[in-house]
């Protein structure tokens, strides 16, 4: 299998093949606040079951050992994941938009490199969950005519995501092609 950094994509439009777009490392990092957002998201997934098991272990004497052991068996890998994953993802996640395409690299254990030619973009959306709003972040979702699904850029400053959505919408409206 070829290295994604050196693989070329030849997108096509209604008018025929477009310029050759090389899949390359995008230039921009996500917002630094993403590290805190990913940390809190991980803790929200790990802490509730650990706390419930620990509380039950303290309240139910006959099953105390097994409940507390279960809490520890969930807490240990969960806290390791919470400690390592956010900063690792921050080092990996990158994005860039050009006049021809949107480039992304995401993941932490399994990394995905994507390129979305502007002529293939169908919709551009921003999403903000409650935690993202608390950290001033948004996710930009670029839907394309691709079986691989939408291109997602998580962890952008909200203002930047809003501006990118507007810019990409204007550019794609002026780009020839039928986005299919």
* Residue 128 reports pLDDT greater than 50: yes
Q: Maximum Cα–Cα distance for the chain, whole Å? A: 73
Q: Examine the domain organization and report whether 126 and 70 are in the same domain.
A: no
| Contact predicate 143/114, CB 8 Å | no
Closest CA relative to residue 11, chosen from 93, 135, 83, 119? 119
- Region of poorest pLDDT, from 12-26, 42-56, 113-127, 137-151: 12-26
- Cα separation, 63 vs 56, whole angstroms: 9
Is 111 part of any domain? Answer: yes
Q: Examine the domain organization and report whether 132 and 103 are in the same domain.
A: yes
What does the pLDDT look like over 15-36, one tens digit per residue?
Answer: 334 456 676 789 999 999 999 9
Is 159 part of any domain? Answer: yes
Q: Examine the domain organization and report whether 160 and 98 are in the same domain.
A: yes
Is 180 part of any domain? Answer: yes
Q: Examine the domain organization and report whether 122 and 69 are in the same domain.
A: no
Q: Which of 47, 72, 88 is the endpoint of a domain?
A: 88
Domain at 100, CATH number: 2.30.29.210
Is 70 part of any domain? Answer: yes
Q: Which two tokens stand for residue 136?
A: 């001033």
* Residue 103 reports pLDDT greater than 50: yes
Q: Examine the domain organization and report whether 113 and 133 are in the same domain.
A: yes
State the pLDDT at residue 119.
Answer: 85
State the pLDDT at residue 179.
Answer: 59
Q: Examine the domain organization and report whether 82 and 137 are in the same domain.
A: no
Residue 39 CB-density burial (10 A; 0-12 exposed, 13-18 middle, 19+ buried): middle
| Between residues 51 and 110, the one the model is more confident about | 51
Is 107 part of any domain? Answer: yes
Is 56 part of any domain? Answer: yes
Q: Which of 68, 88, 108 is the endpoint of a domain?
A: 88
State the pLDDT at residue 3.
Answer: 41
Angle between helices 64-92 and 34-59 (to 10 degrees): 180
Closest CA relative to residue 122, chosen from 174, 172, 167, 176? 172
Query: Total structural domains in the chain?
Result: 2
Q: Examine the domain organization and report whether 57 and 131 are in the same domain.
A: no
Q: Examine the domain organization and report whether 79 and 99 are in the same domain.
A: no
* H helix intervals, 27-157: 34-59, 64-92, 130-135
* Chain position carrying tokens 């025929």: 16
* Residue 85 reports pLDDT greater than 90: yes
């Amino acid at each position: 299998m070829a290295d994604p950094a050196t693989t070329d994509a030849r997108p096509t439009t209604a008018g025929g093949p477009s310029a050759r777009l090389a899949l390359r490392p995008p230039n921009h990092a996500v917002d630094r606040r993403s590290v805190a957002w990913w940390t809190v998201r991980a803790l929200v997934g790990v802490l509730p079951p650990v706390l419930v098991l620990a509380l039950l272990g303290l309240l139910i004497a006959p099953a105390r050992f097994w409940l507390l052991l279960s809490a520890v068996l969930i807490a240990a890998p969960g806290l390791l994941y919470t400690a390592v994953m956010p900063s690792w993802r921050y080092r990996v996640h990158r994005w860039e938009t050009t006049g021809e395409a949107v480039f992304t690299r995401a993941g932490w254990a399994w990394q995905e490199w994507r390129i979305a030619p502007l002529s293939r973009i169908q919709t551009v959306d921003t999403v903000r969950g409650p935690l993202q709003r608390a950290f001033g972040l948004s996710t930009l979702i670029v839907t394309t005519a691709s079986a691989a699904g939408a291109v997602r850029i998580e962890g952008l400053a909200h203002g930047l995501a809003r501006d990118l959505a507007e810019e990409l919408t204007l550019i794609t409206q002026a780009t020839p092609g039928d986005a299919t």
